[in-house]
């Protein structure tokens, strides 16, 4: 099955943080076993870089990117014109990062792995936590 992931979900999975929801953890563990594919919007990667450099996230970002390049189950999804066009429609979300993440999930017809209440409350898509 295909999923899209947001920034905090990815960070919490990579750092084994207990804040990650049980359903989200199960999906990501199964993804590591080759059972699913998780789409990572490039805006999530940009936010992850920022957090690693500026917010004390204990993660070797370059090492993560090198592993990502070799992965078949975690796929970066580029910010393209279709995602931007879809973002225009998402007026219930003010944060552009959230808009791009949700637009990526909608563009790929996937459920979003997120705890973000603002995203969930929009009703734009199915969220898993």
Listing DSSP states for 5-66 in one string gives: E-HHHHHHHHTT-TTS-HHHHHHHHHHHTTS-EEEEEHHHHHHHHHHHHHS-----HHHHHH
Q: Which of 41, 35, 61 is nearest to 114 (CA)?
A: 41
pLDDT class of 12 with cuts at 50, 70, 90:
very high
Residue 51 sits in which domain range?
2-128
pLDDT tens for residues 70-126? 999 999 999 999 999 999 999 999 999 999 999 999 999 999 999 999 999 999 999
Q: Domain count for the chain, please give it.
A: 1
CATH number of 110's domain:
3.40.50.1010
Per-residue DSSP letter, 110: -
- In this structure, are residues 86 and 103 in contact, taking their beta carbons and an 8 Å threshold? yes
């Amino acid at each position: 099955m295909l999923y899209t992931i947001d920034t905090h979900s990815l960070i919490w999975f990579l750092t084994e943080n207990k804040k990650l929801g049980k359903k989200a953890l199960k999906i990501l563990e199964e993804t590591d076993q080759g059972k699913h594919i998780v789409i990572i919007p490039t805006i999530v990667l940009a936010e992850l870089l920022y957090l690693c450099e500026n917010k004390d996230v204990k993660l070797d970002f370059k090492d993560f990117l090198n592993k990502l390049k070799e992965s078949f189950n975690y796929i970066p999804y580029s910010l393209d014109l279709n995602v931007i066009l879809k973002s225009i429609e998402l007026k219930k979300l003010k944060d552009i990062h959230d808009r791009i993440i949700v637009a990526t999930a909608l563009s790929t017809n996937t459920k979003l792995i997120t705890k973000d209440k603002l995203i969930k409350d929009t009703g734009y898509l199915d969220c898993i936590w």
